[in-house]
């Protein structure tokens, strides 16, 4: 009889796309390793970084922190590669410069079990380039169906967790388009799924030094393009949802 034990699959697979994130990736991974719930694996998908990200990742890799070479080209493809390689029941997204508070996984999984939910997201806080919280918290609704989601991009990627017993891997593959995360949320919700919001700040979103006005201009173009991809909206409906999105985007940043 063999003394070796069969390796148990982790409960959660944390997918982190990495592109030129040498300054932040060690700290970001550290916030996962510091979780109160420890049954997870971390998949670092190296999206053809040209800085020292790979060397930093190699320095923190172990039996729970895997480095995967991405196909290159987009965050969507990097996340999809991570999902394909994942072994956990739950898929959790985390961007390479964001941070989780210690109870993020434990509280979100408990919430998902309580609500019998396959798609969950949480509130989050804006942080400076050093990762320090700025006190500006984005609160989230308890439930977010498709039509309500069209007028608000309130689901932040680093807060999202999927239950693969309710949504298969193919269903959560991100489209390779701009604003790929929002495109995926809308695709899933359009099929009748309802996203469950845990209105507790469990994530910090690190903001960069780029121009806010430039970012919002580009975001507006991307959102308008996504409306055109839905196929079930006429011009007036798109305009209605776009106005709602724009208003809420401004308020969220104030």
Identity of the highest mean pLDDT range in 68-77, 156-165, 237-246 = 156-165
Displacement of CA 38 from its chain's centroid (Å): 19
Confidence of residue 254 (pLDDT cuts 50, 70, 90): low
User: Which pLDDT value is given to residue 208?
Assistant: 66
Report pLDDT digits (tens) over 70-85. Answer: 987 799 999 999 999 9
4 compared with 229, residue with greater pLDDT: 229
User: What is the distance in angstroms between the CA of the first residue and the CA of the last residue of the chain?
Assistant: 64
Of the candidates 106, 112, 86, 117, the residue with the CA atom closest to the CA atom of residue 15: 86
162 vs 195: CA distance, rounded Å = 10
Model pTM? Answer: 0.91
User: Which pLDDT value is given to residue 184?
Assistant: 97
Report pLDDT digits (tens) over 163-189. Answer: 999 999 999 999 999 999 999 999 999
Beta strand residue intervals within 56-147, DSSP E: 65-69, 90-93, 99-100, 119-127, 133-138, 143-144
Confidence of residue 211 (pLDDT cuts 50, 70, 90): very low
Of the candidates 176, 163, 151, 168, the residue with the CA atom closest to the CA atom of residue 70: 176
Report pLDDT digits (tens) over 37-70. Answer: 999 999 999 999 999 999 999 999 999 999 999 9
Report pLDDT digits (tens) over 89-145. Answer: 999 999 999 999 999 999 999 999 999 999 999 999 999 998 999 999 999 999 999
């Amino acid at each position: 009889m063999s003394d070796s034990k069969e390796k148990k699959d982790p409960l959660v697979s944390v997918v982190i796309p990495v592109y030129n994130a040498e300054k932040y990736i060690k700290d970001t991974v550290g916030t996962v390793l510091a979780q109160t719930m420890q049954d997870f694996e971390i998949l670092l998908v190296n999206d053809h970084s040209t800085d020292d990200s790979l060397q930093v990742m190699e320095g923190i890799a172990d039996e729970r922190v895997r480095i995967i070479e991405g196909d290159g080209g987009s965050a969507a493809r990097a996340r999809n590669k991570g999902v394909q390689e994942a072994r956990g029941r739950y898929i959790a997204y985390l961007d390479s410069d964001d941070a989780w508070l210690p109870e993020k996984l434990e509280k979100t999984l408990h919430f998902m079990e309580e609500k019998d939910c396959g798609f969950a997201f949480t509130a989050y806080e804006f942080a400076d380039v050093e990762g320090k919280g700025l006190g500006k918290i984005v609160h989230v609704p308890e439930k977010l169906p498709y039509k309500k989601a069209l007028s608000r991009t309130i689901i932040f990627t680093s807060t999202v967790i999927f239950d693969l017993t309710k949504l298969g891997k193919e269903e959560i593959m991100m489209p390779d388009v701009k604003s790929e995360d929002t495109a995926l949320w809308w695709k899933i919700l359009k099929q009748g799924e309802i996203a469950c919001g845990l209105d507790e700040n469990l994530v910090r979103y690190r903001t960069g030094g780029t121009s806010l006005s430039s970012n919002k201009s580009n975001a507006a173009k991307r959102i308008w393009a996504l409306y055109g991809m839905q196929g079930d909206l006429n011009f007036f409906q798109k305009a209605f949802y776009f106005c709602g999105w724009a208003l809420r985007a401004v308020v969220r940043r104030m």
